[in-house]
Structure 1
Amino acid sequence: MTEVEVVQLLVSAVHRLAGRPADGPAPGPADERVARVEVRAGLGLVGDRYFGRAAHRDAAVTVMAVERLPVDIAPDADLRHTRRNVLLRGVDIDAHIGATVALDCGHGPVLLAVNRPARPCAWMDVTVGPGAQRALRGGGGVRCTPLSDGVLAVGPATFRVVGQGYAGSGTSD
């Protein structure tokens, strides 16, 4: 078991990065970060735009390591810029593709199947800054399927690998 920190959580009801990056993000709330979120097995984060959508079942939750943020490009980069859901400190989540992990924020463990990379797209050069897409290659986070109901909250947490492989995982974006 590893002591980690949930630095930020983001739940977005709207898809703001649609169309061409040159057109800029669509309007939406100024800040979609939350202090806690309910997780539902096989569905995602309650209130998020991907909650319960069949096309996103194996990618309903995206997790990223704060250590991978390109702060040399944008010192204030965070989940508002990368559009991931969970920002962790203390674990290289990108190294756990293919594993089932447990993240416990003090409300009981939430199991996540870590399915595949959340590959950075051209939007990163717009929302974070020029060169961010390249800087995030191999470290843009992971796409996960929630395997249990629970609660994630900002603050101290524990992280552990509880198994390898998940029958529902995909291999490409």
Structure 2
Amino acid sequence: MPEIVELLASPVHRFLGRPAAGPAPAPPGELVDVVQIRSGLGIVGDRYFAQPAHRDASVTVIAQESLPAGVGLTEVRRNILTSGIAVDELIGRVLVLDCGDGPVSLRVNRAARPCAWMDVTVGPGTWKALRTTGGIRCTPLNDGTLRVGPVDITVERVPT
């Protein structure tokens, strides 16, 4: 059964400067059990919320199946970690997630390409390994709530 494994809403950018210097410390509480999504704006409390430059990429999703065992959102800096959903195949579609609080529709705009930081935070070779499975960048199409746990999914065509 598909599920949301982790949720990250971080108010800070941790990957600043050169990867060799290492990431900035994680703020307390960036991994959460529930997030509030706002249409066209992103995740309330996240560093990309309502940022004009990130409106078409304000929510990022990655599949747990793409990551080495034990690696989660604090290392890869995506917002939603799923299991049982082939997210990298959804570019150009709408991913609808419903955790029981109503559907949240995410327009999948493009791949979330990894960067050299992955070799530092996950391990050598990760940057190259995640080039085709680094997740997706999405725009939320409606307001809603997502929670860690089982999730119903629907994939739809992008509205025209």
Same fold (TM over 0.5): yes
Q: What value does the CA root-mean-square deviation take over the aligned residues?
A: 1.2
Using the TM superposition, give the Cα deviation of residue 27 of structure 1 relative to its aligned residue in structure 2, in angstroms: 2.5
Q: Distance in 2 between matches of 1:22 and 1:111?
A: 37
| Distance in 2 separating the partners of 1:9 and 1:115 | 20
Counterpart of 1:161 (choices 138, 155, 158) is 155
User: Is 1:145 the equivalent of 2:112?
Assistant: no
Q: Which residue of 1 aligns with 2:23?
A: 25
Q: Pick from 51, 54, 58: which aligns with 1:53?
A: 51
From 10, 13, 21, the equivalent of 2:11 is: 13
**Match for residue 35 of structure 1?**
33
Question: Gaps (5+ residues) in structure 1?
Answer: 168-173
Which of 12, 27, 44 in structure 1 is aligned with 2:42?
44
Q: Which runs of 4+ in 1 moved over 3 A?
A: none
Instruction: Number of aligned residue pairs: give it.
Output: 160
Q: 1:63 aligns with which of 61, 64, 71?
A: 61
Which residue does the alignment assign to 1:115?
Answer: 109
Query: Aligned partners of 2:33 and 2:95: how far apart in 1?
Result: 21
Instruction: Give, in angstroms, the shift of residue 50 of structure 1.
Output: 0.4
Structure 1 segment 123-142 matched on structure 2, within 5 A = 123-142=117-136
CA displacement at 1:19 relative to structure 2: 1.0
Q: Please list the CA deviations of residues 80-118 of structure 1 after superposition, one character each: whole Å capped at 9, or x if unmatched.
A: 100000001111100000001210011000000000000
Amino acid at match of 2:44: V
Contact 1:31 1:80 in 2 (8 A): no
Q: Percent identity?
A: 57
Gaps spanning 5+ residues in structure 2: where?
A: none
Letter in 2 for 1:112: L
Normalised by the size of structure 2, how large is the TM-score? 0.96
Q: Give yes or no for the alignment of 1:97 onto 2:91.
A: yes
Matched to 1:12, the amino acid is S
